[in-house]
């Protein structure tokens, strides 16, 4: 009788066991020329430690930390806007700060052409930082995308797409994920076949400097949610846009849509471009049900001339 009671308790406890994981997202990780000139050391290396001192504990604390690498690592000569090629030390600083994943499909991913795209991936591979959005060829994309990461018993699948590459054309055999319904629908079907608990799309979209989402953002978001994406994280406008919740049609939960996180760190000085968000999402899995249980948003600001990130709200 006692064995039966113990077995029953174990079964009930297992059925209601809870797993929890936190995801942290930031906006654009940029490197304008004043930034890398400020970071350059007498020996020619670059030191960015001061930039991340205040935000590093939050990034390290997340189970998965994700940012948008809006530069290439195309090698010297290092250049800022309009065609970015950042020092390799910028990547190592990002890695040291605690980032696990970088999105690379954005409008600057072809700033140094095929060489820049491939060298960026060579460097991120060497740093053991996972990327999604650009690929050397279709075979590599097939192996790496969609990106599945399991953390604390919760299976997350990440997708990402960009609206454009500033007019540059992708050179074969390279592949860049672009906002195209045929491509995205095929990818979402593959994502759903991977038995995820949560599917998150990270979108590079919208109108620069506009404080509200445009009609294309809204129509694309609606389409993504209808296809089975759970939550959407947006960027590109370089300013913070609102976050909204949309109800699921078939369950008492909400889709989170972050229209734009703004810049995380940059040298931009136009109104509202010195600020960005650092968003932490907590997911809890009980049995077969995974829910977003907590949303935390911190506003950060880039100071000059030292380019230190400060949490201001």
What are the φ/ψ torsions at residue 219 (nearest 5 degrees)? -70, -40
Q: List Cβ neighbours of 257 (8 Å cut-off, separation of 6 or more).
A: 221, 225, 231, 232, 234, 243, 244, 245, 246
Size of the chain, expressed as the number of residues it contains: 313
First to last CA, the chain: 57
User: Looking at the domain assignment, is residue 149 inside a domain?
Assistant: yes
In a domain? residue 98: yes
Q: Count of domains in the chain? A: 1
Task: Please check whether residue 14 lies inside any domain of the structure.
Answer: no
C-alpha to C-alpha distance for 313 and 69, rounded to whole angstroms: 24
Kindly report, residue by residue over 77-109, the tens digit of the pLDDT.
999 999 999 999 999 999 999 999 999 999 999
Domain membership flag for residue 279: yes
User: How far is Cα 186 from Cα 194, in angstroms, rounded to an integer?
Assistant: 13
- pLDDT given for residue 232 in this prediction: 98
Report the SS3 class of residue 111.
Answer: coil
Q: Is residue 185 part of a domain?
A: yes
| pLDDT at residue 121 greater than cutoff 80 | yes
Residue range 250-277, pLDDT digits in tens: 888 999 999 999 999 999 999 999 999 9
CA distance 17 to 128: 32
Asked if 162 and 109 count as a contact pair (C-beta separation under 8 A), the reply is: yes
Q: What is the pLDDT of residue 185?
A: 98
**Mean predicted lDDT score pLDDT of the chain:** 94
- CATH number of the domain encompassing residue 141: 3.60.21.10
Q: Which residues pair with 161 in a beta bridge?
A: 203
Angle between helices 113-127 and 88-97 (to 10 degrees): 40
Half-sphere exposure of 252 (CA within 13 A, CB side): 0
User: Which of 10-19, 157-166, 186-195 bottoms out in mean pLDDT, i.e. has the lowest?
Assistant: 10-19
H helices present in the chain, as ranges = 2-15, 33-39, 49-52, 56-61, 88-97, 113-127, 138-144, 181-193, 215-227
Helix (H, G, I), strand (E, B) or coil at 268: coil
Report whether pLDDT(10) > 50: no
Order of strands across the sheet that contains 198-204:
147-151, 154-162, 198-204, 231-235, 254-258, 243-247
| pTM listed for this prediction | 0.93
Helix (H) or strand (E) holding 151: strand 147-151
Averaged pLDDT for residues 139-159: 98
Q: Is residue 15 part of a domain?
A: no
Closest CA to 162 of 114, 222, 234: 234
In this structure, is residue 93 part of a structural domain? yes
SS3 255: strand
**Which domain does 159 fall in, by range?**
20-311
Which of the four pLDDT bands, split at 50, 70 and 90, describes residue 18?
confident
Asked if residue 147 belongs to a domain, the reply is yes
């Amino acid at each position: 009788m006692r064995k039966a009671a113990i077995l029953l308790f174990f079964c009930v406890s297992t059925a209601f066991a809870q797993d929890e994981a936190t995801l942290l997202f930031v906006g654009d990780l940029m490197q304008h020329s004043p930034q890398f000139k400020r970071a350059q050391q007498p020996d020619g290396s670059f030191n960015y430690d001061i930039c991340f001192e205040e935000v590093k504990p939050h990034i390290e604390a997340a189970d998965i930390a994700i940012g948008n690498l809006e530069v290439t690592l195309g090698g010297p000569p290092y250049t800022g806007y309009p065609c970015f090629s950042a020092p390799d030390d910028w990547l190592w600083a990002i890695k040291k700060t605690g980032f696990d994943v970088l999105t690379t499909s954005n409008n600057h991913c072809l700033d140094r052409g095929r060489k820049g795209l491939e060298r960026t991936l060579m460097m991120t591979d060497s740093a053991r930082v996972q990327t999604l959005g650009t690929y050397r060829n279709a075979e590599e994309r097939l192996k790496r995308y969609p990106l599945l990461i399991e953390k604390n018993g919760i299976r997350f699948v990440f997708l990402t797409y960009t609206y454009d590459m500033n007019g540059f054309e992708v050179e074969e055999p390279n592949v860049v994920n672009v906002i195209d319904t045929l491509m995205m629908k095929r990818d979402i079907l593959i994502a759903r076949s991977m038995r995820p608990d949560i599917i998150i799309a990270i979108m590079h979209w919208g109108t620069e400097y506009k404080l509200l989402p445009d009609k294309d953002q809204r129509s694309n978001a609606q389409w993504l949610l209808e296809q089975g994406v759970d939550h959407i994280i947006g960027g590109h406008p370089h300013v913070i846009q609102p976050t909204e919740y949309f109800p699921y049609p078939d369950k008492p939960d909400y889709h989170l849509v972050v229209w734009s996180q703004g810049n995380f760190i940059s040298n931009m000085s136009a109104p509202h471009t010195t600020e960005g968000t650092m968003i932490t999402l907590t997911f809890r899995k009980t049995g077969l049900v995974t829910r977003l249980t907590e949303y935390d948003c911190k506003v950060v600001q880039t100071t000059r001339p030292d380019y230190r990130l400060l949490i201001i709200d």
